[in-house]
Amino acid sequence: MTSPKGIAALGAAVRKRVIGLGVFTRFFIRLLAASSIVFKRPRLVSQQIHFIGNHSLLIIAVSGLFVGFVLGLQGYYTLNRYGSEEALGLLVALSLTRELGPVVTALLFAGRAGTSLTAEIGLMRAGEQLAAMEVMAVDPARRVLAPRFWGGVIAMPVLAAVFSMVGILGGWIVGVLLIGIDTGAFWSQMQSGVDVWKDVMNGVIKSIVFGVAVTLIALFEGWQARPTPEGVARATTRTVVAGSLAVLGLDFLLTALMFSN
Amino acid sequence: MSNEKTDWWVGLFVLLGAIALTFLALRAGNLSSFSFAPTYSLTAKFDNIGGLKVRAPVKSAGVVVGRVASITLDEKTFQAVVTLHMQKSYQFPLDSSARILTSGLLGEQYIGLEPGGDDAALAAGATIKLTQSAIVLESLISQFLYGQAEKQGSPQATTPPAAK
């Protein structure tokens, strides 16, 4: 039996979530409206690409390498049963370009870059820097949010492409150098099976969508954070949780849209 | 950090991304098999194309000489009309024949072009007259079974049904 109090609490929770979604949408629109600064002061964006992209490069490349290693080993063990080890290149390349490249990069991106964005903006809010900007008639959405947003959106597909490339090289190192699959078969199987538009481009589109989602969530959480140390800490946690879940959910949707015939 | 230094690192970052994408497109993908060489188109009508797909290769003596551009159905004859984009450097005799073949046991299907002996070449837009449809495994099996049944038809018919 649910008491009337429970029903009320449920209603309040649903209402809160829907309102949150509405605020999120408004935030997105405000961000887009403020984006003209990208063309007026591109240096702000390039600074953010440097901060978000370059600093994430190392963890992305190392993770890609190890994911490639593991794919090479696991794929070899399975394919070996059916006597088709040569298809290892195809398996590694397809799983990286279609799924793992964009998704794992986005998850790492949420952890590496998203958290720092949230913490930065949350602390700006706590230190009343954003309020100070408003007093000086500087729109913080324009000056602070928009460059970070576009920096993240630009950096994400680059990072995903690097991840996929390094992963394929990792698969090649394990498959060809360590296990001894024929290198020609490895590449030719890959080239005959990977379609540039269907697989590579769809992977890029996925990574752009993930970049938008993760960066937007990170900025939103920082923007909405309670201006206390605890509030910033919670917002950072929420960025990782909500960002990762959004990436996985969007990935399912996009895969269903893109790869269904 | 000075502006120039930031520019340098961001430039390097974008360059790395471009290299990675080019690698994915050329080394992992099949963009290099896109040829921008001039082509001419031929059409061929098949009773059944099996699992032939657009962009499947057209091979002659095993060499890729073109690709399937489009596949449509002729509404009058109910045949499949396959348009081929052939590389301009290869010309084929007028009485060449096209077959739909399968590479390997379970591989993809492609069009095999066998040159004839005519002096005149197939012009752009011409239709290949001699075609042979794809072999559909199910019809092959049923043909085989019917042939088998026909061969041993009469003695089989006299045996009682319980023995079957």
Identify all chain B residues contacting A187, using CB atoms and an 8 Å cutoff. Answer: 27
Identify all chain B residues contacting A57, using CB atoms and an 8 Å cutoff. Answer: 13, 16
Tokens of A253: 């949707």
Do B14 and A158 lie within an 8 Å CB cutoff?
yes
Q: pLDDT digits over A137-177, tens only? A: 999 989 899 999 999 999 999 999 999 999 999 999 999 99
Q: What stretches in chain B show pLDDT beneath 50?
A: 163-164
The residue among A97, A211, A208, A185 whose CA lies nearest residue B23 is A97
- Residues forming beta bridges with residue B73, ordered by sequence position: B80
Q: Of B1, B10, B24, which is closest to A161 when you measure between CB atoms?
A: B24
The residue type found at B159 is T
Distance from CA of A247 to the nearest CA of B (A): 21
CA distance A165 to A61: 9
Identify each DSSP E strand in chain B by its residue range: 39-46, 57-60, 63-73, 80-87, 97-102, 109-114, 127-128, 130-132
Could you tell me how many residues make up chain A? 261
Identify all chain A residues contacting B3, using CB atoms and an 8 Å cutoff. Answer: 43
Q: Of B19, B29, B33, which is closest to A199 when you measure between CB atoms?
A: B29
A interface toward B at CB cutoff 8 Å? 43, 46-47, 49-50, 53-54, 57, 93, 97, 155, 157-159, 161-162, 164-165, 168, 187, 190-192, 194-196, 199-200, 203-204
The residue among A24, A26, A18 whose CA lies nearest residue A217 is A24
Element (H, E) at B140: helix B137-151
Helix axis angle for A55-81 and A146-172, nearest 10°, is: 40
Q: What is the pLDDT of residue A1?
A: 54
Distance from CA of A194 to the nearest CA of B (A): 5
Answer whether residue A130 shows pLDDT above 60.
yes
CA distance A241 to A99: 20
Do A164 and B25 lie within an 8 Å CB cutoff?
no
Please tell me which residue of chain B has the smallest CA distance to A50: B10
Tokens of B133: 């449809």
DSSP state of A95: I
Domain coordinates of chain A in residue numbers? 34-259
In chain A, alpha helices (H): 4-33, 37-40, 42-49, 55-81, 88-94, 101-109, 115-126, 129-135, 140, 146-172, 183-193, 202-224, 229-258
Do A97 and B9 lie within an 8 Å CB cutoff?
no
Do B3 and A43 lie within an 8 Å CB cutoff?
yes
Question: Phi first, then psi: what are they for B107, rounded to 5°?
Answer: -75, -175
Do A195 and B33 lie within an 8 Å CB cutoff?
no
Answer whether residue A250 shows pLDDT above 80.
yes
Q: pLDDT digits over A201-243, tens only? A: 999 999 999 999 999 999 999 999 999 999 999 999 999 999 9
Please tell me which residue of chain B has the smallest CA distance to A193: B29
To the question of pTM greater than 0.90 for the whole model, the response is no
The residue type found at A260 is S
Do A93 and B16 lie within an 8 Å CB cutoff?
no
Question: Phi first, then psi: what are they for A90, rounded to 5°?
Answer: -65, -45
Which residues, 6 or more positions from B56, have their beta carbon under 8 angstroms from its beta carbon? B67, B68, B108, B109, B110, B111
Average pLDDT of chain A?
A: 91
Could you tell me how many residues make up chain B? 164
Do B32 and A190 lie within an 8 Å CB cutoff?
no
Q: Do residues A164 and A97 touch, judged by C-beta distance below 8 A?
A: yes
SS3 B44: strand
In B23-60, alpha helices (H): none
Distance from CA of A154 to the nearest CA of B (A): 9
Q: What is the pLDDT of residue A177?
A: 93
Q: What is the pLDDT of residue B158?
A: 52
Q: What is the pLDDT of residue B33?
A: 59
Low-confidence winner among A19-28, A66-75, A201-210, B139-148 (lowest mean pLDDT): B139-148
Question: Phi first, then psi: what are they for B121, rounded to 5°?
Answer: -100, 155
Q: What is the pLDDT of residue B67?
A: 84
Q: Give the torsion sign (CA, A73, A208, A138, A27).
A: negative
